[in-house]
Structure 1
Amino acid sequence: MPQANKPPIINCHVHTFTGDYVPPFLAKTYLPEPIHRIFSMRFIIMCIRWYYDVVKPLFFKNRYKWLKRKTYEFQIFIKRHYILGIIKLIVETYLIVAIFYYLGTWFLDIDYQYKNIIQQWLVKALVFLKESGLIIVVPSLFFKIVFFIIILIVFKSIRNLVFALLRQFKILPGKHFTDLFFRYVQIGLFSKYKTQKGIYDKLKKQYPVNTHFVGLPMDMQFMDAGNLKKGFTIQTQMQGILDIKKRPQDRDTFHPFVFADPRRMADKTYFNYTIEPKTGNVLLTKGCLMQQYLEDHNFAGIKIYPALGYYPFDEALLPLWKYCVQNNLPVMSHCIKGTIFYRGKKKPIWDNHQIFTEGKIDSTKFKATTNQDDDEHNVDFDFNADYITQDDKALHLNEVKNIDFANNFTNPLNYLCLLDEKLLYKVIKQSTNASQLQQLFPCDEANTTVQKGKGLSSLKLCFAHFGGDDQWKRFLESDRDNYTSQLILQPQKGIDFFKNANGEDSPGKLAYIWKYVDWYTIICSIMLQYKNVYADISYILHDEVILPLLKQTLSNDGLKPKVLYGSDFYVVRNHKSDKAILADMRAGLTENEFDQIARYNPKTYLNLP
């Protein structure tokens, strides 16, 4: 098909918010008091802006150019003289030995009798160096640290060696802290742009002319990570997005969403509605922010981020979801285990799931076996839904750390509480405003369900990030359980969430799926069973393992029209640039596959002509 006849490329997941809209204490729960306050986002942004405003301009001055030239002349002089090269090698070797001695005496007690043979050898080496007099002993800890830092800065080869050893012995921070650090860096690097227009223009240069973008705001005020900088509110962030939308060159190609947080929506100036008596439809109140942006300014959809501390079936969100169904508005929901999540204390109400109940095994019929080397997510058993029965107790959520319990809000199974009429009925009955919600969602009390066609089963929903690259890998590695195999055995349906093999209700089954099934399998199954459910591949595209499974996903006729291209600009920049992600996609997929996820599917999702 000629290029001119194709719809434009559409990137369904980009961000333009500046660092001023990020709470200062993202490192809370990672770093202790008061360190997370000292190294705040505000401090990082201030330093980077100072670098770009003050330091970087010095690079273009003659003094810096002279220093750069002299440094080059010194380095090339040593490289061109054999004797000097040998002297440099001897000096570097001595410094490596000195660093080994200092680090060794920090972590090992040379007077202690270790039982581990490696530790014994290391102690013997340290004692030898001490008694030989080869090492200049610096008694002050301060001067040791200064010496160490100078050596790492000046000698690149030593720096690389030290970092490699620290990674090998797992002394450097873990993956979660590293991810947070790079998130800091990316937000900081883009903080030199003081307007959202500057960030958006940087993005556009990496794509062909006439590419479309879905702009997603972020409202992080309620994540308990500190207050935003004065004057930077969700209203000013939305105004910055609107300023982009109003530009003639972006009017038809920029499709911004409105952010929804149930705690924000308690403010009637942000979200307010009435119910039309005859139809039960939701009518947005003229003048509230959502009405202005969705109806007056034609914003394209709704963005939510449950990891910030709420469930997608929060009763405050239900009227909005009804409005989205009425108007076929798309919803984009964060669905990955990431570094942006609620930083406050776990509330008692979060100890148990509000809708799901525990499942239990009928021990007379079901025999489970576990491999001692497996973690809790890789339980190997002969699954049969007939053996799972319901427990009346609520599903217990025993995670303690923020980074763990916040994932309960993000779990894709939560969306069945919207899409399934029986679970939605349960949500309504447990709400504090059940009578009003039943005007929106008429119920069949005899069958304990929302009336067929009156619920949210047609809600147009996109799982952003498709569950995460870790869940894709988990799916690929799970070759013994029978949950993941359902996508192969029943490619038109995937997992049956509610019934056993005999077609009988199995209400305890959801608890087992919650605990043991990867999110890739869950999301694919929901996409196959509900006509308006999509998933985008933003962020996870940086990982090369994604492409083979993505091609396999697109071979399923039920999933092929539901996958959307997105990059997660600029958050993913610590892995790859957008132009690198786009190039990898076009190289790894056939032209038809790329066009499907980057042109045709997004067009349908966004209701574009």
Structure 2
Amino acid sequence: MSEDIREKIQIHNCHVHTFSYRCVPEKFLPGGIIRFVAKRSTFFARLLNNLIPERDDDLYDRYADLIRIMRCSQKDIFDYLRQFYPFDTRFIVLPMDMAYMEAGKVPKPFTKQLDELLQLKELYPEQMLPFIAVDPRREEITSIVKEYVEKGCCGLKLYPPLGYFPYDDRLDAIYEFAQERQLPIVSHCGVNNPVHTHMKRRKLIDKIKAELDPSLGITPTFKGKKNRQLTDYLSHPANYKVVFRKFPNLKISLAHFGGQNEWKEFLNPTTFELGASEKEKKKAQKTREDNWFTIIYDMLKEYPNLYSDISYSLSYQKYFPVLKVILQNPEVRQQILFGTDYHVVRLVISERAFSINLRGYLGEEDFRQIAETNPREFIGNVC
């Protein structure tokens, strides 16, 4: 083992959240359930913990943990996260701007969420890397971005399923600024989005028809799809080809590497085409070509400034071998980032188990690549 491999790894977790329920719209869930549960978090957490008393880490226990976490301040949430890592670990903290998803009022003002992150950065100047959530529908968003970068924010966060395409013209000034400053950008890129716009289905379909770039060759289908599936067109990885045409020097990380479903389909391709009609064969071929894992993997080879993190998607160990194999490809090895999606990933696995299981499987050399070497290049000298 070489000397540099034996050296301590400075871990960079490139995808975590510290937002609380006060950053979530009142109608995110029907009937004001978010507020109702939050105000009674102790009761509901205890109830969930005791549904299966003989087990101490079942799904109900994990929901209980998430309820407790979401009730806390951003500082308490961040401090809780830090205990699972070495003291010098660095965290890209991604806020959310859900004010325009048409799900009601957000109790905490957006800039208050950012101010709290900057206060944490004062406490932990080396560990805390706060990003700015960007939504093109927010008034003066370009000015807000520039102001908060000057105050100490390190990058940008996009979440297209909230109701916009990443090539929205209103983002151009922000992209130009980000390219000039070499600000890293993290954008949600997973299918079947759990957090998505609540706009009327007809309105969303009309938006997709009007704004989906025809040069991408994507033919949208709408029958039987709800907003959760329709917003895949907003977050589709191919959309970033349009962004890179205008801004080829942007640094963008596509979060979740397409999502768990796409990794699953890649590992277990359909056999429907065997002995099927020509129509069914074409449909099966189209399914393979539309696999987001494959699309992102190919795009990494094409765009040297494109990255992808493995947050949430790699919470299931059955996908570890796929990651191990693609990390041996020098064409993409330098563009894959470690991230967990704390605190959301707690619904599947604990933070400590996620990172240690992955590190133990990959070994020190490959883990260093995704948790230290690549993140340092992605973050650059911004923070």
TM-score, length-scaled by structure 2:
0.85
CA 534–354 in structure 1, closer or farther in 2 if over 3 Å, else same: same
Inter-partner Cα distance in structure 2 for 1:301 and 1:156: 43
Gaps in structure 1 of 5+ consecutive residues: 28-35, 57-152, 158-177, 272-287, 360-389, 421-454, 482-511
Contact kept, 8 Å, 2:66 with 2:346, in 1: the verdict is no
Inter-partner Cα distance in structure 2 for 1:182 and 1:303: 30
Inter-partner Cα distance in structure 2 for 1:183 and 1:343: 26
Confirm whether residue 550 of structure 1 aligns to residue 323 of structure 2.
yes
1:417-457 CA-partner distances (Å, limit 9, x unpaired):
1113xxxxxxxxxxxxxxxxxxxxxxxxxxxxxxxxxx312
- Of 219, 242, 247, which residue of structure 1 is paired with 2:118? 242
CA 351–330 in structure 1, closer or farther in 2 if over 3 Å, else same: closer
Corresponding position of 2:278? none
1:354-406 CA-partner distances (Å, limit 9, x unpaired):
244399xxxxxxxxxxxxxxxxxxxxxxxxxxxxxx8xxx9444254111111
Contact kept, 8 Å, 1:353 with 1:397, in 2: the verdict is no
Shift of 1:513: 6.5
1:92-114 CA-partner distances (Å, limit 9, x unpaired):
xxxxxxxxxxxxxxxxxxxxxxx
Shift of 1:514: 8.7
Shift of 1:478: 2.6
Aligned residues: 359
- Residue correspondence of structure 1 range 177-576 to structure 2 within 5 A: 187-193=66-72, 195-229=73-107, 232-247=108-123, 250-264=124-138, 267-268=139-140, 270-271=141-142, 288-295=143-150, 297-337=151-191, 338-346=193-201, 347=203, 349-352=206-209, 354-357=211-214, 395-399=219-223, 400-420=225-245, 455-478=246-269, 516-576=289-349
Query: Of the two, which has the highest radius of gyration?
Result: 1
Inter-partner Cα distance in structure 2 for 1:353 and 1:477: 34
1:479-500 CA-partner distances (Å, limit 9, x unpaired):
779xxxxxxxxxxxxxxxxxxx
Corresponding position of 2:360? 587
CA 463–351 in structure 1, closer or farther in 2 if over 3 Å, else same: closer
Contact kept, 8 Å, 1:7 with 1:600, in 2: the verdict is no
Contact kept, 8 Å, 1:19 with 1:187, in 2: the verdict is no
Inter-partner Cα distance in structure 1 for 2:312 and 2:301: 23
Shift of 1:26: 2.6
CA 479–343 in structure 1, closer or farther in 2 if over 3 Å, else same: closer
Which letter does structure 1 place at the counterpart of 2:130? Answer: P
Contact kept, 8 Å, 2:88 with 2:126, in 1: the verdict is no
Contact kept, 8 Å, 1:19 with 1:190, in 2: the verdict is no
Which letter does structure 2 place at the counterpart of 1:320? Answer: I
**Deviant stretches of 4+, over 6 Å:** 153-157, 181-184, 512-515
Which letter does structure 2 place at the counterpart of 1:45? Answer: A
Contact kept, 8 Å, 2:5 with 2:365, in 1: the verdict is no
Corresponding position of 2:40? 47
CA 186–354 in structure 1, closer or farther in 2 if over 3 Å, else same: farther
1:571-602 CA-partner distances (Å, limit 9, x unpaired):
00011111101110111102100000001000
Shift of 1:473: 1.2
Contact kept, 8 Å, 1:351 with 1:397, in 2: the verdict is no
Gaps in structure 2 of 5+ consecutive residues: 273-284
CA 607–473 in structure 1, closer or farther in 2 if over 3 Å, else same: same
Q: What secondary structure sits across from 1:214 in the alignment? A: strand
Which letter does structure 2 place at the counterpart of 1:332? Answer: V
Identity of aligned residues (%): 31
Shift of 1:353: 5.7
Shift of 1:16: 0.6
1:132-190 CA-partner distances (Å, limit 9, x unpaired):
xxxxxxxxxxxxxxxxxxxxx99989xxxxxxxxxxxxxxxxxxxx9xx9997565221
- Of 13, 16, 41, which residue of structure 1 is paired with 2:15? 13
Structure with the bigger RCO (C-alpha within 8 Å, sep 6+) is 2
Contact kept, 8 Å, 2:220 with 2:233, in 1: the verdict is no
Q: CA RMSD in A?
A: 3.0
Q: What secondary structure sits across from 2:169 in the alignment? A: coil
